[in-house]
Amino acid sequence: MSDFAAMNRACERWLDGLPKPAHATGEAKLARAGNLVEIAVVAAAGGKQSC
């Protein structure tokens, strides 16, 4: 994960002073070495279910 620090900086800019949510980072082998992928998942508890 050679861009870990850069990803954290991007997250800080994206939040721009908002409360920081919990997050986790994982690593997976990609089909092509040049690909950059980010997947965001949001989960909430106690709200209405839409499905």
Q: Torsion over CA of 5, 27, 10 and 22, rounded to 10 degrees?
A: -100
The domain total for the chain is 1
Q: 10 Å Cβ neighbour count for 11?
A: 15
pLDDT of residue 40: 75
Range of the domain at 51: 1-51
How far is it, in rounded angstroms, from Cα 18 to Cα 16?
Answer: 6
- Per-residue pLDDT of 4-30, as tens digits, reads 888 888 888 988 888 887 777 777 788
pTM tops 0.75 = no
* pLDDT of 1: 64
